Structure 1
Amino acid sequence: MKIQNPHDKFFKETFGNVAVAKDFLHHYLPQNIMQVIDVNTLEPQKDSFINEELQENFSDLLFKVNINQREGFIYFLFEHKSYTSKTTAFQLLKYMTEIWEAKMKKEDVNELPMIIPLVIYHGKNNWNVKTQLGDMIKGFHDLPSDIQSYIPNFEYLLYDITRYSDEEIKGHAQLRILLTIFRDIFTKDNEGLRESIYRAVSYLKELDDKQTGLEYLETLMRYIFSAGKNLTSSEVDKLMKRIETTYPEGRDVVMTLAEGFREEGMMEGLARGEAKGEKQALVKTAIQLLTKRFGKVPEDLKDEIAQLDTVTLGVVIGDILEYKKLEDVKKYIR
């Protein structure tokens, strides 16, 4: 049941909803930009420009929108890693170039659409990287402005969620839930995260449509169980009881998900236990056979044997009769 990339899924399931994306733009875009954007023309695009290698740390969403009465795009880059990236402006330049190339190739046009890049970040550390491409180019700011005009430069809009207070998190229920949980998923301990979950779940009561609330509660809890700290069984119980009080309509949803993840966690624990038990048995067998063949085995060698994986331990045991001296076993250690 665990999601392979929960940050990506939670981000796209929420921001992929045009109403939520509009809500974000309305509350967080600078007013001068909002004056030239027609949010009623906002339309999600299927394209993604993040390569496979970077998908663990980045997600993206592209929206077509009229900018100053012409077709343009808003590009969301979501960074879901625990540290800031110095190359963000450069990455954005590559993605923007790919958007333009795709547009020209698909529609055979010679003019490029406007693209406004936005970066959303929720790592453990505050964002400490400047937001202009020129800041990455050595000596750029020392050049006269007429020379700078020959060198590519742009600035992206940055939203460092880690800095937002509860009062600064604005918008309708789904947007406030996402920003609250993204803000706290890396930075709060289990108790603090539980309090954030209770607050987020309470926002669901603002939704008029019960089915929408239940569906988004499931989206939220799948994210929590997949991306959150390793919640203990007792912590999950506390979570369920509080949610039953805060949002009783979601009791069955939370209970079903909690049981599923509990069972999965037990199976994972059992598998780890079985693997650990198998390895301990192999270590014990290897040391016993070496002791029987060569006499006392030094403690440091025992420790080194205990660090071997199960496959290597099996080889060590299988070759014991071929060893001429105790030191022969070290070829598998070194």
Structure 2
Amino acid sequence: MLRYYTYIKWHNDLPIYQVLMVLKKPENVRNIKGSFESTVQGLEVMKYNYKVIKAYEIDKNEILSQKNIVLYPLRVFMNHDGETEEEHILECLTAVEGLKDADYYFLLVECLKKLYQKSEYEKFVKEEIYMSSALYKEPYEKGKEEGLQEGLREGLREGELKGETKTLARTAVKLLIKKFGIIPDDLKQSMQKLDVPTLEIIIDNILEYENLEQVKKYIH
């Protein structure tokens, strides 16, 4: 932090005050200091201060009442007494899913990954919102076609191993979201009702579709 401060002060001369936010309660550290002092032979050389904020001690509902949107993704680390873990996860996701900027949803899901096992949060995540974030899309723009092909192969392998129509339907929906972004709920529901051969045709041709209308022709 001191090196970062020195660089900004030296090159840009910006007036900044640094903040250290501790997300999870440390197991082996009792006291986190907000200052650092340096002395040489009893002479004071420097005193460096910064603010320490412990996220796990903040009431997450205060962030909502203050409408401090920039902190919404970090609410998952905050105090949630009186709620089960599932209730807490669902509430945090609901708070950001209505925001215009899908990046907040993406960042919250990334924070959830740091706290919980995949099975505990993934059932609540709305993939169409998560995948519509610019933070999700940008790393995959390069080599997008290769990514779709790999997803196609993995989905088919998984479907063959499990032999389930639901597996192929979910794979097809994921690939369509990856290609077109948000897709209508009625289309996702219709995909669940298709048989295995039809789903395999849709997946095989995923790279050739230019719009969702070309997919809907397989739905009767």
TM-score category, normalised to shorter length: 0.3 to 0.5
Larger Cα Rg: Structure 1 or Structure 2?
A: 1
